[in-house]
Structure 1
Amino acid sequence: MHWRQKVDYWLETLGDEDPLKIDLLKNLSNEKLMEDSFYKDLAFGTGGIRSVMGPGSNRLNVYTVRKSALGLAQYILDQDDDAKTRGVVIAYDSRHLSQEFALEAAKTIGRQGVQVYLFDELRPTPLLSFAVRHLNAYAGIIITASHNPPAYNGIKMYGQDGAQLPPAAVDSMVGYLEQIESELLIEAADEKQLKKSGLLRYIGEKVDLAYIQALRTIQLDKKAQPKDLYIVFTALHGTATKPVKKAFSALGFNDVIFVKEQSFPDGNFSTVKSPNPEDAAAFDMAIQYGKESNSDILLATDPDADRLGVAVKNDLNEYVLLTGNQMGAILIQYMLEQKKLAGNLPEDGCIIKTIVTTELASAIATNYGIKTIDTLTGFKFIAEKINEFKQFNSHTFLFGYEESYGFLIGDFVRDKDAIQAAVFISEAAAYYKNQGKSLYKILTGLFEKFGYYKEETRSIMLEGKNGAEQIERIMTSFRDEPPGTINSIPVIKIEDYFKRESLDTVTGEKAEINLPKSDVLKYKLEDGSSICIRPSGTEPKCKFYFAVKGKTAESANERLSELVKAVFNSTCDLALHSI
């Protein structure tokens, strides 16, 4: 159906009092907006569905939420009877309409006779992942758009292992969604009737307590007294304040100052431009608190508390924001150091990271005799590897991470977990402070030992239908006309994850990439640098990941700057002029 026909259909079908119809009527003259809102149906990306809220088949609203929920219900119903009984856990974050969308999903799924467990108030994403496993549910949903702007919301769907649905399950889900004639005709059950029948059950504190109990298992130095470590924490108006307070209290961290202005849930994220801990500006208030209290480390979580950002004091006693790559390196060093000291470092231990995450992680792991495995971007691929380890008894999972501030220590959760990361990096900070060292000193020590690894991610924002087409043209240009050199440095290897094939440009030899098919390209240069390019699975962006290694901090910074400049400003090779 053409997008104009879809607009007419929605106008004919929606009731006159429906807020979405009123919104549509106000914006009918905005042809570009109408086309973007209706030209396609919402599609699953790396982290589920994420979109601007509003009327339209390509927007998140009560009807597209019902459609996604119905697709999941039908997927469950086509499994065995046990899946229907085990049911679905649903959670939601602090965004506008998150609670309403969660209830609509619950009522839609419950109407199909599938058991639903709905959290009684907002919860972080890792609590949802934990709850699926703890309650032995068959699936999970959380309503969140992570760190996106306030106009966005989204749906993440989880399997029975507590991980986001893998590609095969998503493909099945899409098949069910394609069979749904119209999202506007989907019916939801009555909440009171569902509760009366027992198909809808509200959950809360018992699950929280079980999670905190599990959290205790990741402590490595239970004898350490963190009383002299001073921490500032901000939830950036998201879901983390309550669970982080409980976690720090349970693990003995009492000198924690919470940024009061950002502790309460707020879908407008009114004190920050972006609720993303990767954004240095998001730390402005935390830095003020840190200076006033002379705190050692500053911690910030995104709205659904799956990502953690950390700021530490440098040699000039100024707070600097660590990158996700740097944080992961510190956590790996602390974990492996402690396990070796305790004599319980497993010979089959394994670190799992993504293909765009720093190679410093591999260098540290190798120094301890620990293997590192790379996966595609997206934490569900890390979770898949954890399942493989369990199934085949092949490796002991130690740590999983991705450069975008996502970390996992204990596999009782199967998604990135900022609460775990917050208490674990605080434990590391306390341990090293007792030795007279800061986290910054630990990081510089790693660089001095293994080399100065430096990474940077750049994104080109291209919104709407035209933007999606531009991103596709960029990827096609890179794939069909790969650069022979970048910044005058020869490209020696091209990895095409869509073709699942790598090419040695020197010998012409090709090799299979043993990872799932994905629209990702990676170029490895003669000097050890690399560039990875991929469309974002959750945002209208084309993302570029740059990585270099230098003998000094200055040489690494210079090399990285030149590489980024060559890609974004050069008139040759890299196809950015298709924008």
Structure 2
Amino acid sequence: MIRFGTDGWRDIIAENFTYANVRAVAQAHAQYLLAQGAQRVVIGYDTRFQGPNFARVAAETLAANGLEVLLATAYVPTPVLSFAVVHLEAAGGVMITASHNPPLYNGYKIKGAYGGSATPEIAAGIEAELTRLRPTPAWNPEKNPIRGFDVRKAYYAALDRVLDLEVLRAYRGVIYHDAMGGAGAGWIEGYVKHAKLPVEVRAVHGVPHPLFYGVNPEPIPQNLESLSAVLATEQDPVFGTVTDGDADRVGAVTAGGHFFNSHQIFAVLLKHLHDRGLRGRVVKTVSTSTLINLLTARLGLDLEETPVGFKYITDAVLRGQSDPDQTVLIGGEESGGLAVRGHLPERDGILNSLLLLEAVARSGKSLGALFADLEADTGFRHFYDRNDLHLEAGFDKDAFMAHAASWTELAGDPVREVMTRDGVKLALASGAWALLRASGTEPLVRVYVEASSPEAQRALLEEATSRVRAFR
């Protein structure tokens, strides 16, 4: 069974993510592209097991259908693949990656001609083609050759146009980068060398590793013990940036080994871009901190809230490209994906890592101090955590969601409002909230909680977790 989630198709290698199924998805993709009059497509892959071979299978299938196919000559971050779609004037792109998912997964991410996640319309169109697959023609390498591409220099030049190089070139300090063994390995160091920045980049897990050094390649605390230990003895404003398996998401760890979560990163970058004089709308998913709402209002900016899935943020950014009144300053999600004005309608962990460095360089303050200023300005204290609960066989996710929507209190905090735009989000009387959402690609329920004190946050998360586990 092939099911599309929030960003393409992901599945377990050798179980459902097989050469045969990759060919099927690529054939459906080819049929969709040809129906749109497409001629060229670009393909990339990350450092996962069999990545180059799965990419080759997709490339041969697309080429067999008469499309001009350009295949990355080495592993690339997803944002670089998205950049290549635009730079090479392709009609679409394919990234073979499962992003932050465990090492036993791989995936087929689909990119639009604009250089971003497939919109819901594109995804639906390809899914429809899966129901009416035509036989894949035999690939003739002489008639439809697959050519390589390398856009590193052009991508770095694109970052030059977004970053404040004057500020960065005046900053002399240290930044750590934990690539988690993924596709971001070497890319921040490469940019620093390209831009001639007087910054020392210290790599952690900077050698590609198909098993990501034994952790899931997601920038959350339990996966960052090594970076936290390294930073435990550092002093502010030194920090470490983290990119996930395909380097489209960003995380951070500050001096002393303290995790700096995606909500904090979102808030700091929002204020930093505003301080640079940039303006536009702010777009956030339902799983993102209330602090973003308060900060957006304080800065006099419009806010849009979407379901989880970066394709919805992509939609908003694309609307802004055709209507100046809808221009997006920054759009982001709880998982660390952020798009910023002047770049692609795409998450970019490389760019956002450098923007965090720029925020520190421009302000002369550490990330922790910058966020503390925002809490003081808005009067909001942010305490957040999340549990990913793996489900036993037979767990009925739909029935559980209907059950959760009937809750009238959580850990003694009355439910003020129930929102079901994506999962079940409970707005509580105290101002806290809890979101329960079933994954579309994995057998798990995610529980997200934000409250104004660590005690309340822990109580809400423990209670919600207990109720999920007790559900039958």
TM-score by length of 1: 0.77
What corresponds to 2:338 in structure 1? 407
Structure 2 residue runs without a partner (length 5+): none
Greater shift after overlay, 349-358 or 520-529?
520-529
The one of 295, 301, 321 aligned to 1:390: 321
The one of 291, 296, 303 aligned to 1:360: 291
The one of 47, 51, 74 aligned to 1:98: 51
What corresponds to 2:152 in structure 1? 208
What corresponds to 1:441 in structure 2? 369
Q: Does 1:324 align with 2:262?
A: yes
Residue 441 to residue 120, structure 1, CA distance change in 2 (3 Å): same
Q: Does 1:241 align with 2:185?
A: yes
The one of 513, 524, 542 aligned to 2:445: 542
What corresponds to 1:197 in structure 2? 143
CA contact (8 A) 1:144 1:154 kept: yes
Q: CA shift at 1:286, angstroms?
A: 6.2
Q: Secondary structure at the match of 2:30?
A: helix
What corresponds to 2:410 in structure 1? 486
What corresponds to 1:21 in structure 2? none
Q: CA shift at 1:390, angstroms?
A: 1.9
Q: Secondary structure at the match of 2:300?
A: coil
Q: CA shift at 1:388, angstroms?
A: 1.0
Structure 1 residues 193-214: Cα deviation after superposition (integer angstroms, max 9, x where no partner): 2xx435522111xx22221111
Give the letter for the 1:248 counterpart: V
What corresponds to 1:565 in structure 2? 462
Give the letter for the 1:42 counterpart: I
Q: Does 1:373 align with 2:321?
A: no
Distance 1:290 1:111 in 2: 53
Q: CA shift at 1:187, angstroms?
A: 5.6
Structure 1 residues 240-261: Cα deviation after superposition (integer angstroms, max 9, x where no partner): 123222222334433333336x
Distance 2:412 2:42 in 1: 53
Distance 2:222 2:104 in 1: 21
Structure 1 residues 511-536: Cα deviation after superposition (integer angstroms, max 9, x where no partner): xxxxxxxx522221222121222112
Q: CA shift at 1:94, angstroms?
A: 0.4
What corresponds to 1:296 in structure 2? 238
Q: CA shift at 1:304, angstroms?
A: 0.6
Distance 2:374 2:94 in 1: 39
Q: Does 1:266 align with 2:216?
A: no
What corresponds to 2:14 in structure 1? 54
Q: CA shift at 1:295, angstroms?
A: 7.5
Q: Secondary structure at the match of 1:332?
A: helix
CA contact (8 A) 1:51 1:154 kept: yes
Q: CA shift at 1:170, angstroms?
A: 1.8
CA contact (8 A) 2:98 2:105 kept: yes
Distance 2:468 2:176 in 1: 44
Q: CA shift at 1:157, angstroms?
A: 0.8
The structure whose residues are more often helix, as a share, is 1
Structure 1 residues 558-577: Cα deviation after superposition (integer angstroms, max 9, x where no partner): 221222233233xxxx5642
Greater CA radius of gyration, 1 or 2? Answer: 1
Distance 1:253 1:286 in 2: 25
The one of 169, 173, 176 aligned to 2:126: 173
Structure 1 residues 271-298: Cα deviation after superposition (integer angstroms, max 9, x where no partner): x433222134424146427747998011
Distance 1:290 1:488 in 2: 37
Q: CA shift at 1:476, angstroms?
A: 3.1
Q: CA shift at 1:539, angstroms?
A: 2.6
Distance 1:230 1:223 in 2: 15
Equivalent residues, number:
471
What corresponds to 1:133 in structure 2? 86
Q: Which has the higher contact order (CA 8 A, sep 6+)?
A: 2
Q: Does 1:67 align with 2:7?
A: no
Give the letter for the 2:288 counterpart: T
Q: Secondary structure at the match of 2:427?
A: strand
Q: Secondary structure at the match of 1:534?
A: strand
Distance 1:101 1:411 in 2: 33
CA contact (8 A) 1:166 1:381 kept: yes
Q: Secondary structure at the match of 1:259?
A: strand
What corresponds to 1:532 in structure 2? 435
Distance 1:230 1:416 in 2: 24
CA contact (8 A) 1:47 1:537 kept: no
Q: Does 1:333 align with 2:333?
A: no
Give the letter for the 2:448 counterpart: Y
Distance 1:538 1:209 in 2: 35
Residue 394 to residue 289, structure 1, CA distance change in 2 (3 Å): closer
What corresponds to 2:173 in structure 1? 229
Structure 1 residue runs without a partner (length 5+): 1-40, 340-344, 498-518, 551-555
Distance 1:375 1:152 in 2: 27
Give the letter for the 2:97 counterpart: T
Q: CA shift at 1:137, angstroms?
A: 1.2
CA contact (8 A) 1:432 1:439 kept: no
TM-score by length of 2: 0.93
Q: CA shift at 1:473, angstroms?
A: 2.7
Q: CA shift at 1:381, angstroms?
A: 0.7
Residue 454 to residue 161, structure 1, CA distance change in 2 (3 Å): same
Q: Which structure 2 residues correspond to residues 510-521 of structure 1 after superposition, within 5 A? A: 519-521=422-424
Identical-pair percentage: 27
Distance 2:240 2:167 in 1: 23
Distance 1:304 1:211 in 2: 16
Distance 1:269 1:438 in 2: 29
Give the letter for the 1:124 counterpart: P
Q: CA shift at 1:188, angstroms?
A: 5.3
Residue 358 to residue 289, structure 1, CA distance change in 2 (3 Å): closer
Q: CA shift at 1:475, angstroms?
A: 1.6
